[in-house]
Structure 1
């Protein structure tokens, strides 16, 4: 007997072929919208498809979706080694978000995302505040 679990990332793998599924899930405030976003970020190679959806999920009224969007941002930084200015602004705001989620707050998820961004994005591509507070490795291979 198998039970379909909507929260299992594998059940959302279809978002790679239909990224608008993530938009629909965020718009209807689906409790698993963040999981759909994670599945997309981890499996879709194109930044132009993934970035707008991370931004959209970061604006969700659902705290779990915002937390998953922050996790997605960290994965995006690791996979693509980049971030854009608008996401940096949203990340900075999230670092002050005290919305409770389980035994933590959204800002805890933002801290981990900022650490990932600092670790994986080239230092010269980051604003000073992020470089100083969440610095990753100092060596740069592509000067």
Structure 2
């Protein structure tokens, strides 16, 4: 190539090489992806997935994911589903527009499962509940609806499960009693 590329796949002039999908994994500017949609770039779906992984504000990313879900190109729609799954996993959120567009996709896709796993169930529509109702009922019957939750003081401090009857130990060896919560 006669142009000088950086390691992140961006050209020295600040433009992305849209002809090489392997360089699109570092896309982190929503304006670049919107412009690629406007130009009808072939690999815009790859850039949507990269944006979902690399951009920190889901309120900015979700409208672009919705644009991918609305695409006439089946591959871009599939990549939009993957991007929505990444947003759900990383940010634990989704918007109503993406949920409405996802409803038209076949069930059992990546986004269905990640939304169910990572987004608060109260925020999810009834059609997604129906899709996961069977596995939820099996879980409920097996566990009796008991979920162990660590106390607020121990959350995020590297606690690991100890075999000493519900006690958790942190890295210093201090034991903490975990709280049990019954689902209603």
Map 1:1-143; keep pairs closer than 5 Å.
6-8=20-22, 10-13=23-26, 15-16=27-28, 18-95=29-106, 111-134=109-132
Structure-2 separation of matches of 1:19 and 1:39: 10
Structure-1 separation of matches of 2:79 and 2:127: 23
Q: Which has the higher contact order (CA 8 A, sep 6+)?
A: 1
Q: Which of these two proteins has the greater Rg computed from alpha carbons?
A: 2
Structure-1 separation of matches of 2:24 and 2:86: 19
TM value normalised by structure 2: 0.59
Alpha-carbon spacing, 1:84–1:11, altered in 2? closer, same or farther (3 Å): closer
Structure 1 portions without partners, runs of 5+: 96-106
Larger helix proportion of the pair: 1
Alpha-carbon spacing, 1:140–1:75, altered in 2? closer, same or farther (3 Å): farther
Q: Deviations over 1:31-57 (max 9, x none)?
A: 210111111110110012201100111
Whether the 8 Å contact between 1:58 and 1:70 is mirrored in structure 2 is: yes
Structure 2 portions without partners, runs of 5+: 2-16, 141-146, 153-182
Larger strand proportion of the pair: 2
Alpha-carbon spacing, 1:140–1:48, altered in 2? closer, same or farther (3 Å): farther
TM value normalised by structure 1: 0.74
Over aligned residue pairs, what C-alpha RMSD do you find? 2.8
